[in-house]
């Protein structure tokens, strides 16, 4: 059963094992997500060239696919990487950034889900809805829907693809088949820093690298995100200093903070 001890164990394993997390992600967030992975104790690599993605996947413990800044060549690289991850049997985390905003984004996310097994889909409410409902819309890459509205779509995706679905919002909802975990940590400053959703996906890759239970891995990543967000907000004056303190807390967070602060529900 998911608990503070689950998160503490997985965090300890990330710091001991330093799993290599291969990210094919977007230009906007590369620096932040790499620093977040380093701060928590994982080892990041950002490689999207078609010529090397398969080889790089061969070295990795998890693959994170983020469609934030798409192009035809990136889609080809993502396709190759997902197929290589299936051969190596490492977990794939898909972040369908902006699905629902354009048909290119929505169709690319759906294509990747059909390319090979995805362990965890992590997105906001609008993105999750768009993967199921072609009429669902997204405001650029921002959600027009809270996580509650996307729960049924999340369940459908989980059953269809045999994966966990992590829906971010004021409360994060993680679904796998009939199981649900709510993470009720976080702070209103978090959406004011670009790339924190993408950071959640990168950290989900790190947790999935050390825990084969996809529901627990996804929930653990969101728990650490939310707790570190709360701690950072207590020291921050605004979004810029929040980002600084957030990275510090990813490095510092431990058993005490997780036991004291974790708030979950079903």
What's the average model confidence in pLDDT over 137-160?
73
pLDDT at 266: 66
- The yes-or-no verdict on residue 63 having pLDDT over 70 is yes
Strands 120-124 vs 62-66: parallel, antiparallel or unpaired: unpaired
Give me the pLDDT at residue 178, please: 86
56 HSE (CA, 13 A, CB side): 23
Average pLDDT, the chain: 94
Give yes or no for residue 248 having a pLDDT over 90. yes
pLDDT at position 139? 47
Residue 134 has pLDDT above 70, yes or no: no
Specify whether the backbone of 184 is left (phi greater than 0), alpha (psi in -120 to 50) or beta: alpha
Task: Give the other-Cβ count within 10 Å of 190's Cβ.
Answer: 24
Looking at the chain, the whole-number percentage of residues with pLDDT higher than 70 is: 94
So what's the pLDDT on residue 133? 78
CA angle at 173 for the pair 168 and 175, rounded to the nearest 5°? 120
**Residue 1's pLDDT band (cuts 50, 70, 90):** confident
- Confidence category of residue 135, pLDDT binned at 50, 70, 90: low
The pLDDT of residue 265 is 82
Task: Please state the pTM of the whole predicted model.
Answer: 0.94
- In CATH terms, is domain 4-265 a member of 3.40.1190.20? yes
Distance of CA 2 to the CA centre of its chain: 18
246: pLDDT strictly greater than 50: yes
In the predicted model, what is the mean pLDDT of residues 11-37? 97
Kindly tell me if the per-residue pLDDT of 141 is higher than 50.
Answer: no
**Res 216 pLDDT > 80:** yes
Per-residue pLDDT at 136 exceeds 70: no
pLDDT tier for residue 250 given thresholds of 50, 70 and 90 = very high
Q: Rounded CA gap, 69 and 71, in Å?
A: 7
Q: In a 3-state reduction of DSSP, which class is residue 206?
A: helix
Q: At residue 143, does pLDDT exceed 70?
A: no
Mean pLDDT to the nearest integer, 220-246:
98
Residues 19-40 have a mean pLDDT of 97
pLDDT of residue 147: 63
């Amino acid at each position: 059963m998911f608990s503070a001890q689950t998160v503490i164990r997985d965090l300890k394993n990330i710091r001991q094992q330093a799993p290599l997390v291969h990210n094919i992600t977007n230009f906007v967030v590369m620096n932040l997500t790499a620093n977040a992975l380093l701060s928590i104790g994982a080892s990041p690599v950002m490689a999207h060239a078609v010529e090397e993605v398969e080889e790089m996947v061969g070295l990795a413990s998890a693959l994170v696919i983020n469609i934030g800044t798409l192009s035809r060549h990136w889609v080809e690289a993502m396709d190759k990487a997902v197929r290589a991850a299936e051969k190596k049997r490492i977990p794939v985390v898909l972040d369908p950034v902006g699905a629902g905003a354009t048909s290119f984004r929505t169709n690319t996310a759906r294509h990747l889900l059909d390319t090979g097994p995805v362990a965890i889909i992590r997105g906001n409410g609008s993105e999750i809805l768009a993967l199921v409902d072609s009429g669902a819309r997204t405001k650029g890459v921002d959600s027009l829907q809270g996580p509650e509205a996307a729960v049924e779509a999340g369940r459908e995706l989980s059953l269809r693809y045999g994966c966990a679905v992590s829906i971010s919002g004021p409360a994060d909802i993680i679904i796998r088949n009939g199981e649900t975990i709510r993470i009720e940590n976080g702070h209103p400053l978090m959406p004011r820093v670009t790339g924190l959703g993408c950071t959640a996906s990168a950290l989900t890759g790190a947790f999935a690298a050390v825990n084969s239970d996809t529901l627990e891995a996804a929930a653990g990543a969101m728990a650490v995100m939310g707790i570190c967000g709360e701690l950072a907000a207590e020291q921050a004056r605004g979004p810029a200093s929040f980002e600084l303190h957030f990275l510090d807390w990813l490095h510092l967070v431990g058993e005490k903070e997780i036991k004291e602060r974790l708030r979950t529900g079903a």
